[in-house]
């Protein structure tokens, strides 16, 4: 499946794949161990399906859930990438049966298997919890990141300034797409870390389409849907940022494709399905025993487990209609009463979850016997997770680490079944090193008209130092590419000032989780506006570097 992982996987394979002379198949038996490190140690989607509302068109204005946070690995490992359960939203173009949505010249258009419409790779809102090969600063637990692909995977947008870890440099001014909304939370390019060492506490997040601006019939015509990310944690609640509608509509003008007008996430209902842990770039060691049998080892992957052998991973999957918040939000913006921002239950539809045993593979070979250790399960209350075998119940559930090649399969084996001569037991995977600083330009949208206060600095839990400055909301870099008239900019600025004045960070916007505790974000991410800039100004990260 083509995805945001494709470039990461290719890059890592080019760097870490051994030359033909290093291939473990060339190792001679009875000559001692020959250890080879590979990048394709584990692949699979540990997932669930979520039932859709009876009226899908109505409940297409938002989708959210609570996802467990815990350290999947006990230390940062180089070249490691696994996404925890995350969202996936695409525009509903089901009325189009045969016309390409991916213009010629885009990356996705080369993925022929996605034709004839390429609707699944046209535009997406993605992101969530995870470990990514492109992370510059690793610290143990996962991080939370937004992500979107507005132009058929030609580029991705992961924060108010940067792509999804692809580059140290900020995105070009004309590809910026996220508007920082919160005046209390920093959004660093390397994603949001958490406080301490979470052990299965829950992060809530919801994507909600809100009308910050009116639809336009300009070139290009643009809808009013600003997909807005709400978080629910122990120390921060509320919206953090949104995708500017023009982020989605500009593709039709750029490629001179009038058919694409009105087909992006700015105007179309959102299609939202189930979720999955996307396991892809996992390193492995291979070695042969004296008989030439191949054994392999992957990093230790651990899960929180209760006394009944259950790992709770996702709960409260909910779809939202415009009655949940959009309608009240629009009325408020038009001069009506203030809305609290709480999602109205009359516009919510809770999903029923189902799941199936996952198929895993290693280097293209099917992995056998993992289901003897654990299997996916939906627990009472539509909570999705893992059920561990009685023999595996402990404080941490551990994914099988060792495998034996048997025919066309890799069979999970215990450590006691691995021959000593392979030397796999003592092999340690390389620790991830800190990456280069993320840097913003010293010209263009970042400096004209520029910040009103700063720079300021803070040190995060991942060991990085973040530099940020305070911008007037409408003057932040992402908006500078658009030539809006002064009345439109003034109206949006005034409305955001009202949001800052009326929406605190300690109020429930999402409904609270039905079970468990909320995780806490790294407190260093939470900031207070300088005196005089309390409303209508936002903290924009301009640099992130190793301490």
Mean pLDDT of 254-283: 94
Tokens at 498, concatenated: 């009202």
Confidence of residue 523 (pLDDT cuts 50, 70, 90): very high
Region of 444 (left: φ > 0; alpha: ψ -120 to 50; beta: rest) is left
3-state secondary structure of 499: helix
Tokens at 253, concatenated: 């003008």
Picking from 273, 266, 269, 259, the residue whose alpha carbon sits closest to that of residue 96 is 259
The per-residue pLDDT for range 78-108, each reduced to its tens digit, is 999 999 988 789 999 999 999 999 999 999 9
- Determine the Cα–Cα distance for residues 230 and 182; give it in Å rounded to an integer: 10
Tokens at 435, concatenated: 């990456």
pLDDT value at residue 22: 35
Whether 18 has a pLDDT exceeding 90, the answer reads no
Whether 7 has a pLDDT exceeding 80, the answer reads no
Whether 248 has a pLDDT exceeding 70, the answer reads yes
Parallel, antiparallel or unpaired: strands 237-243 and 178-180? antiparallel
Q: Who wins on pLDDT, 276 or 191?
A: 191
Is 378 in contact with 48 (CB distance < 8 Å)?
yes
pLDDT value at residue 10: 25
Tokens at 200, concatenated: 């299965």
End-to-end CA distance of the chain: 37
Confidence of residue 11 (pLDDT cuts 50, 70, 90): very low
> What integer best gives the mean pLDDT of the chain?
92
Is 360 in contact with 367 (CB distance < 8 Å)?
yes
- Determine the Cα–Cα distance for residues 446 and 426; give it in Å rounded to an integer: 50
Parallel, antiparallel or unpaired: strands 294-297 and 302-304? unpaired
Confidence of residue 294 (pLDDT cuts 50, 70, 90): very high
Confidence of residue 298 (pLDDT cuts 50, 70, 90): very high
Is 350 in contact with 318 (CB distance < 8 Å)?
yes
pLDDT value at residue 392: 77
Place of tokens 């982020």: 247
- Determine the Cα–Cα distance for residues 462 and 528; give it in Å rounded to an integer: 21
Mean pLDDT of 381-398: 90
- Determine the Cα–Cα distance for residues 148 and 260; give it in Å rounded to an integer: 18
- Determine the Cα–Cα distance for residues 33 and 31; give it in Å rounded to an integer: 7
Confidence of residue 23 (pLDDT cuts 50, 70, 90): very low
- Determine the Cα–Cα distance for residues 268 and 322; give it in Å rounded to an integer: 13
- Can you give the length of the chain in residues? 547
Mean pLDDT of 179-193: 98
Picking from 275, 222, 224, 267, the residue whose alpha carbon sits closest to that of residue 83 is 275
pLDDT value at residue 57: 86
The per-residue pLDDT for range 308-345, each reduced to its tens digit, is 999 999 999 999 999 999 999 999 999 999 999 999 99
- Determine the Cα–Cα distance for residues 283 and 418; give it in Å rounded to an integer: 18
Whether 236 has a pLDDT exceeding 50, the answer reads yes
Whether 28 has a pLDDT exceeding 60, the answer reads no
pLDDT value at residue 21: 33
pLDDT value at residue 64: 96
The per-residue pLDDT for range 415-471, each reduced to its tens digit, is 999 999 999 999 999 999 999 999 999 999 999 999 999 999 999 999 999 999 999
Q: How many other CB atoms sit within 10 Å of the CB of residue 320?
A: 29
Q: What is the CA angle 364-370-375, rounded to 5? A: 120
3-state helix, strand, coil in the chain (%, to 5): 20, 35, 50
**CA 466 to mean position of chain CA atoms:** 20
Tokens at 221, concatenated: 């015509």
Cβ neighbourhood burial of 275 (10 Å; 0-12, 13-18, 19+): buried
Whether 267 has a pLDDT exceeding 50, the answer reads yes
Mean pLDDT of 39-57: 91
- Determine the Cα–Cα distance for residues 324 and 401; give it in Å rounded to an integer: 45
Report which DSSP code applies to 192.
B
Mean pLDDT of 162-167: 94
pLDDT value at residue 16: 29
pLDDT value at residue 33: 65
């Amino acid at each position: 499946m083509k995805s945001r992982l494709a470039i990461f996987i290719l890059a890592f394979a080019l760097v870490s794949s051994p030359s033909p002379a290093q291939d473990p198949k060339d190792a001679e038996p009875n000559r001692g161990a020959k250890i080879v490190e590979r990048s394709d140690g584990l692949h699979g989607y540990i997932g669930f399906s979520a039932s859709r509302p009876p009226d899908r068109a109505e409940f297409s204005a938002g989708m959210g859930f609570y996802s467990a946070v815990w350290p999947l690995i006990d230390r940062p490992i180089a070249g490691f990438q696994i996404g925890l359960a995350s969202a996936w939203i695409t525009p509903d173009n089901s009325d189009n049966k045969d016309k390409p949505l991916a213009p010629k010249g885009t990356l996705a258009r080369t993925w022929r298997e996605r034709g004839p419409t390429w609707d699944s790779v046209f535009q997406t809102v993605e992101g969530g919890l995870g470990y990514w090969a492109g992370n510059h600063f690793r610290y143990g637990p996962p991080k939370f990141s937004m992500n979107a692909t507005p132009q058929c995977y030609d580029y991705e947008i992961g924060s108010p300034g940067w792509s999804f870890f692809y580059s140290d440099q900020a995105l070009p001014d004309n590809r910026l797409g996220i508007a920082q909304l919160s005046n209390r939370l920093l959004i660093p390019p390397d994603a949001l870390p958490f406080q301490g060492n979470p052990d299965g506490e829950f992060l809530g997040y919801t994507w909600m389409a809100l009308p910050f601006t009116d639809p336009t019939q300009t070139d290009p015509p643009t809808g009013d849907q600003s997909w807005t990310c709400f978080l629910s944690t122990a120390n921060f609640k509320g919206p953090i940022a949104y995708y500017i509608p023009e982020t989605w509509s500009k593709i039709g003008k750029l490629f001179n494709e009038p058919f694409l007008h009105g087909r992006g996430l700015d105007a179309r209902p959102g299609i939202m399905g189930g979720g999955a842990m996307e396991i892809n770039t996992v390193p492995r060691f291979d070695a042969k025993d004296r008989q030439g049998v191949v054994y392999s080892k992957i990093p230790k992957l651990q899960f929180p487990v209760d006394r009944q052998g259950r790992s709770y991973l996702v709960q409260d999957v909910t779809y939202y209609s415009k009655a949940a918040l959009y309608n009240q939000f629009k009325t408020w913006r038009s001069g009506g009463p203030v809305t609290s921002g709480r999602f109205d239950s009359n516009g919510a539809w809770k999903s029923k979850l189902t799941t199936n045993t996952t198929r895993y593979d290693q280097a293209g070979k099917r992995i056998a016997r993992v289901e003897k250790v654990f299997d996916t399960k939906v627990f009472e209350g539509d909570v999705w997770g893992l059920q561990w075998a009685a023999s595996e119940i402990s404080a941490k559930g551990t994914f099988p680490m060792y495998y034996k090649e048997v025919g066309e399969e890799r069979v999970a084996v215990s450590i006691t079944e691995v021959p000593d001569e392979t030397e796999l037991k003592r092999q340690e995977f390389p620790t991830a090193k800190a990456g280069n600083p993320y840097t913003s330009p010293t010209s263009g949208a970042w400096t004209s008209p520029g910040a009103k206060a700063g720079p300021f600095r803070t040190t995060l839990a991942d060991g990085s130092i973040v530099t940020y400055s305070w911008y007037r909301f409408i003057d932040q870099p992402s908006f500078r590419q658009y030539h809006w008239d002064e009345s439109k900019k003034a109206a949006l600025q005034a409305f955001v000032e009202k949001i800052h004045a009326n929406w605190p960070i300690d109020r429930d916007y999402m409904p609270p989780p039905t079970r468990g505790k909320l995780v806490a974000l790294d407190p260093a991410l939470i900031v207070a506006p300088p005196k005089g800039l309390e409303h209508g100004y936002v903290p924009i990260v301009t640099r992130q570097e190793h301490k």
